[in-house]
C-alpha cells in the first residue's frame, strides 16, 4: 500500500486500538504497530507489520523505517506508575526519548519533518490543595504545572523534551535559518471512557469502571469520594482530537502542547447517571487515600480555548450526548441489558 507510513506504539491499548481502526478507515496510511502484547483480533488485519516487545530494547528496529508520523501511545498510567516508579520512568521517559531521537535524526537527515503525536494528560497538573482546585476551575496549559505523581512528572518532562527536539535541538544561532526539525504535537487528555474496553493502571479509571459495572448489574465500590471532580472525554472524541491535530497545518499551531476537554463531572454525578440508566446498579464510595490524593491533585476541569482557536477543536460529545448517543446504546449492545 502506498501513502504515509505511520507508527502506533501502545497499539493494543484503549486509545491504540481505536486509533488504528480510524486510521485504517481514513485510508492512505501504511500502519506499523508496536506493543508488548500481540495484536488483538480487533486490529490484527489492519496493521501492515507488528513489532512486539519492549520499545526501549527494540528501538534499533525502527531506524529501518521511513516514518512520516509517529503516535507514541505506550505508557504506564498513573496508579501503576506510582507503585513501580523506576519501571514507569523507563517506559514513559526512556521510551519517549528514544523515539524522539529517532524522529529528530530522520527529520534532519532526510529534510522531512516527522510528525510526533504524544498523548499527555491532566496528570501534568498538580493542584496544591482542594481549595486551590475548587477555586482554579478550568486551568490553562501553562498554569499549575507541578505534578504530584511519577506519571505526571514523566508526561510533563516528555512534553518539554518533545518541544526541545522540535525547536532547539542542534542549538543554531537565533538568527540562523533552523534545520528541518521534528514536528512535536501533544494533547493533554482528561480521563477517557470507552464503551468497548476498560482502562487499567490509571486513576481516572473509577469513571469507566463504575459505568461498566453498573451496565452488568455488578456492585461497584468507588475508590474516590463522591464529590471528586475531574474532566472526562468519550473515546471517539479523543481519537477525533488526535486526528485533527495530526492534520492541522503547522503554521496554525501556536503551541506544542494543547488541553482538550469535553465535560467535567463528580463521581456522584456519574453514580446518578449510572443508577438512572441501570436500576440494578449498586455503587458505594470507599476512598483509597493514595488514589484519592492523586485525583485531588488534578484540576476540576481544563481550559481548551487554545485548541479551539488554533485548530478548531470541538468535542462531539457533551455529557448528555456522551451517555445518550454513545455510551448507553453501545454498552447495552455489549452486555445485552
- By the criterion CB under 6 A, which residues form the site for ligand AKB? 77-78, 121-123, 151, 189, 191, 199, 202-204
Query: What is the distance, to the nearest Å, from the Cα of residue 140 to the centroid of all Cα atoms in its chain?
Result: 17
**Residue whose CB is less far from ligand AKB, 46 or 123:** 123
The alpha carbon dihedral of 76, 80, 85, 86 has a sign of: negative
Our CB check for ligand AKB shows the closer of 18 and 46 to be: 18
CA distance 266 to 276: 16
Instruction: State phi, psi for 137 to the nearest 5 degrees.
Output: 65, -130
> Closest distance between ligand AKB and the C-beta of residue 193, in Å?
10
- Of 155 and 273, which CB lies nearer to ligand AKB in the complex structure? 155
Cα–Cα distance for residue pair 324/121, rounded to 1 Å: 26
Distances (CA, A) of 2 to 28, 107, 113: 7, 20, 19
Looking at the Cβ atoms of 104 and 147, the one nearer to ligand AKB is 147
Q: Which three cell numbers stand for residue 190?
A: 482528561
Report which residue's Cβ sits closest to ligand AKB: 202
Task: Write the CA distances from 249 to 180, 182, 244, integer angstroms.
Answer: 16, 14, 10
Q: Which is nearer to ligand AKB, 124 or 281 (CB)?
A: 124
Q: How far is the CB of 126 from ligand AKB (least distance, A)?
A: 13
Helices (H) and strands (E) in the chain, counts: 15, 14
CB of 267 to ligand AKB, least distance (A): 14
| Nearer of residues 77 and 239 to ligand AKB, judged by Cβ | 77
Nearer to ligand AKB among residue 67 and residue 270 (C-beta): 270
CB of 275 to ligand AKB, least distance (A): 24
Distances 293 to 78, 181, 223 between C-alpha atoms, Å = 12, 39, 11
Report the nearest approach of ligand AKB to the CB of residue 130 (Å).
18
Surface-to-core class of residue 90, CB atoms within 10 Å of its CB (0-12 exposed, 13-18 middle, 19+ buried)? middle
The C-alpha cell that represents 228 in the structure block: 471528586
**Smallest gap from residue 137 Cβ to ligand AKB (A):** 18
| Euclidean distance between CA atoms 263 and 34, whole angstroms | 31
Closest separation in Å from C-beta 187 to ligand AKB = 11
Amino acid at each position: 500500500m502506498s501513502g504515509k507510513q505511520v507508527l502506533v506504539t501502545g497499539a493494543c491499548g484503549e486509545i491504540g486500538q481505536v486509533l488504528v481502526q480510524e486510521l485504517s478507515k481514513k485510508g492512505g496510511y501504511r500502519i506499523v504497530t508496536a506493543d508488548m502484547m500481540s495484536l488483538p483480533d480487533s486490529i490484527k488485519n489492519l496493521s501492515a507489520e507488528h513489532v512486539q516487545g519492549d520499545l526501549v530494547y527494540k528501538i534499533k528496529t525502527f531506524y529501518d523505517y521511513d516514518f512520516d508520523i509517529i503516535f507514541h501511545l505506550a505508557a504506564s498510567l498513573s496508579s501503576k506508575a506510582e507503585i513501580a516508579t523506576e519501571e514507569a520512568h523507563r517506559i514513559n521517559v526512556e521510551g519517549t526519548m528514544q523515539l524522539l531521537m529517532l524522529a529528530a535524526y530522520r527529520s534532519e537527515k532526510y529534510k522531512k519533518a516527522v510528525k510526533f503525536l504524544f498523548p499527555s494528560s491532566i496528570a501534568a497538573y498538580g493542584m496544591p490543595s482542594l481549595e486551590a482546585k475548587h477555586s482554579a476551575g478550568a486551568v490553562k496549559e501553562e498554569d499549575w504545572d507541578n505534578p504530584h505523581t511519577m506519571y505526571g512528572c514523566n508526561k510533563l518532562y516528555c512534553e518539554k523534551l518533545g518541544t526541545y527536539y522540535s525547536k532547539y535541538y542542534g542549538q543554531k544561532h537565533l538568527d540562523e535559518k533552523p534545520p528541518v526539525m521534528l514536528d512535536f504535537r501533544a494533547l493533554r487528555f482528561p480521563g477517557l471512557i470507552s464503551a468497548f474496553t476498560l482502562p487499567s493502571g490509571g486513576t481516572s479509571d473509577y469513571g469507566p469502571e463504575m459505568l461498566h459495572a453498573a451496565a452488568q448489574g455488578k456492585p461497584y465500590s468507588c475508590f474516590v469520594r463522591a464529590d471528586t471532580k475531574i474532566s472526562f472525554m468519550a473515546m471517539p472524541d479523543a481519537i477525533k482530537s488526535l486526528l485533527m491535530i495530526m492534520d492541522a497545518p503547522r503554521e496554525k499551531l501556536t503551541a506544542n502542547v494543547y488541553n482538550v476537554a469535553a465535560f467535567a463531572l463528580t463521581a456522584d454525578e456519574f453514580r446518578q447517571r449510572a443508577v438512572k440508566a441501570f436500576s440494578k446498579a449498586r455503587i458505594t464510595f470507599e476512598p483509597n487515600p493514595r488514589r484519592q490524593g492523586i485525583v485531588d491533585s488534578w484540576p476540576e476541569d481544563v481550559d481548551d480555548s487554545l485548541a479551539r482557536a488554533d485548530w478548531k477543536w470541538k468535542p462531539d460529545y457533551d455529557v448528555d450526548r456522551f451517555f445518550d448517543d454513545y455510551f448507553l446504546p453501545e454498552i447495552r449492545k455489549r452486555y445485552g441489558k
